[in-house]
Amino acid sequence: MSQIKSDGHHEEGIEVPYDQINPETLRNMIQEFVTRDGADWGDAGCTLADKVEQVLQQLRAKKVKVVFDLTSKTANIVVCR
């Protein structure tokens, strides 16, 4: 999987099955994802636990996936196409 981001950075990544990631590591990754600057969760009444559960449900439903960028050596959660 290869794509060019809007900033011109070439990203080379591979999908990582979420169910093969240590559950604690996955939860930490999701917590970082939902608390990132610029994250828009609409309803400010959601707790961190609610947001994490929403992302877990999206992973299970294959609406989002975990991708490891080989260039930056970072993982991210992205929308499935």
Could you please state the CATH topology (level 3) that the domain comprising 2-79 is classified under: Arc Repressor Mutant, subunit A (1.10.10)
Put residue 37 in one of left, alpha, beta given phi > 0 → left and psi -120 to 50 → alpha. beta
Enter the pTM of the model.
Answer: 0.76
Tens of pLDDT along the chain (81 residues)?
Answer: 444 444 455 557 899 999 999 999 999 999 999 888 766 666 667 888 999 999 999 999 999 999 999 988 999 999 998
- Residue 65 DSSP class: E
Residue written as token pair 């600057």 = 37
Residue type, 76: N
- Confidence at residue 67, expressed as pLDDT on a 0 to 100 scale: 95
Query: How far, in Å, CA of 19 to CA of 21, rounded?
Result: 6
- Confidence at residue 45, expressed as pLDDT on a 0 to 100 scale: 76
- Confidence at residue 7, expressed as pLDDT on a 0 to 100 scale: 47
Residue written as token pair 């981001």 = 5
